[in-house]
Structure 1
Amino acid sequence: MKALKTYLKSRKKALLTLLKKPRKKYVPETFHQLRVEIKKLNALFDLLDFSSKKLGRKKMIKPFKVIFRQAGKVRELQIEEATFKKYIQDDLLIEYRTKLIKRQAKEKKLFFALLNDKTKTELKKKYDKIIPFLSKIDQEKVEEYILMKEAEIKDFLAQPHLEIEQLHELRKLLKIYYYNKTSLFVGNQTSSKKAALTELLGEWNDGVVIIDHLYKIIKKAKINLEEITLLESLKTKIAAENYVLLDQIKLAIPQSELYE
């Protein structure tokens, strides 16, 4: 399928361009965009795996996943830092902020250690191995896949109450669905209603990550009592905001075009 080959070529170029960037030019958005590109590739693998079980999806995605996970560790700390800047004065939480900077430096060092010539060569080989599978997929197979994903999403949305783990699964499923549909069908843009639900789920997930980090910090970090109290207060505030987001998600679900 020509459209898939063109799409893979653009994804390969985008990802390798990010990996070639000098360390000094890596900003929080770079780590975010890198993870987005790997998510798009993973979504494509999902489509290919549906069309041909011979792909060996887990083995194919493995080297990309190693980079994705390490970039994720850096990204989570960056989100944490951004949260502190948003809610806490610069002259507060000095002891923990210092520890956070050191943790970021450590995780970044591990990340950049992965971006060697051997890794880049391996990634290029993986791209080359994907090409033969693309020719086996036709438009009919793609449309069948899209309909299947829509049915899976509708099953989630039709449930009267979604548990936390189900919301995580829904978020991942929506990402795979939208990445493939909007990228493979030229001119097919995500509607504002669809975008609203995915954005809310993304914002809610960031809150979950921060709350989890704060819980671990409070439990294990060797910092003074004053800073622990401040972190407890912040955790409570973000948890309250996440409850509001959950209510907004519940309202957004019936408005989603996939709900019908």
Structure 2
Amino acid sequence: MKKEELKHISTNHYRKIQKHLDRIAKEMDGEEIHQLRVEYKRLRAFFRMLSSSPRVKEEIKVSKKLKQLYSLYGTVRDLQLQQERIKEAVKKDRGRINPYLDLLQTEIGKAEPELQDILSKKPVQESKKKTNAGLPEKFLKNDFHRFVEDKWSSVYAILASGHFSDDNIHSIRKHLKDLFYNLKEYEGKEFRVLSASIWKGQDEKFIAVLLDELGAFQDRCTSISLLKAYWIKRVALPTKKLLDELKQQWIKEKTGMKRALVKKLRTAIKLV
């Protein structure tokens, strides 16, 4: 791909990010926030791939303000999803759980002033100008294959270590996501050829399902982390007891999810 094509791809991602931001400005819609973050991750993965080329002297990164925006909206989305999870898990004793739901809503509200401040500084335009200046003159198929092998080397290193911490499982997901997103930048015959060679004996459908399962595990980790001890201490005893019980249930579910994921990773991805 030549520089103009690289610029076209990044511009398209920036355009979609701005579209979602414009919609979120009217209403803090959870699905729009999710799509915004997916588009940001695709753009970030694209720049990671380009930065792996020997023709790129300095890593291409989005602007600090856009990264802050992504992080803040991530916090908001995590809190929104936690509200949904709690409502789904506690259907009968809703009155006992309302204080915690209100606490989550208060935390969402705390993010809004900083979000508005960053948005007023036009972070998308700023980031686009910054990253356009760092794009290489071209990105070759050999560069792509090198990027693919580097990502798989990182995955293999974790598998070989046998150390399946929550962070390492999340790292595997990020490496595979980078491959999954960047493969989508290619089209037609080129896409089919690359897709056949990238997944180390598996197909794209298998990887998509695996990524969904890894994502569900990460969501469970987040849901547990948001049952913070210092938050729970702020609610009445009946609510605290209910949340403690729910936390133990989710920890048990997380343990089962991790066991199944580790088995699948070890079976499906063969070390080379």
Q: Give the TM-score normalised by structure 1.
A: 0.86
1:102 maps to 2:106:
yes
Partners in 2 of 1:162 and 1:105 — Cα distance? Answer: 36
SS of 1:55 mapped into structure 2: coil
- The within-5 A match list for 1:22-41 is 23-41=25-43
Partners in 2 of 1:163 and 1:124 — Cα distance? Answer: 36
Indicate the RMSD between aligned Cα atoms, in angstroms: 2.4
Partners in 2 of 1:110 and 1:257 — Cα distance? Answer: 42
Q: Give structure 1 regions of 4+ aligned residues with deviation exceeding 6 angstroms.
A: none
Partners in 2 of 1:151 and 1:126 — Cα distance? Answer: 30
Deviation, structure 1 residue 53? 4.5
Residue in structure 1 matched with residue 252 of structure 2 by the alignment: 240
- The within-5 A match list for 1:14-53 is 14-21=16-23, 23-51=25-53, 52-53=55-56
When residues 157 and 7 of structure 1 are mapped into structure 2, their CA distance, relative to the original with a 3 A threshold, is farther
CA contact (8 A) 2:100 2:235 kept: yes
Q: Which moved more, 1:116-125 or 1:92-101?
A: 116-125
When residues 22 and 208 of structure 1 are mapped into structure 2, their CA distance, relative to the original with a 3 A threshold, is closer
Residue in structure 2 matched with residue 92 of structure 1 by the alignment: 96
The gaps in structure 1 that reach 5 residues or longer are: none
CA contact (8 A) 1:7 1:184 kept: no
Partners in 2 of 1:182 and 1:248 — Cα distance? Answer: 28
Partners in 2 of 1:80 and 1:217 — Cα distance? Answer: 16
CA contact (8 A) 1:204 1:245 kept: yes
Report sequence identity in percent. Answer: 25
CA contact (8 A) 2:69 2:118 kept: yes
The gaps in structure 2 that reach 5 residues or longer are: 196-202
SS of 1:66 mapped into structure 2: helix
Partners in 2 of 1:251 and 1:166 — Cα distance? Answer: 15
CA contact (8 A) 1:200 1:248 kept: no
Residue in structure 1 matched with residue 198 of structure 2 by the alignment: none
Partners in 2 of 1:166 and 1:57 — Cα distance? Answer: 24
Q: Give the TM-score normalised by structure 2.
A: 0.83
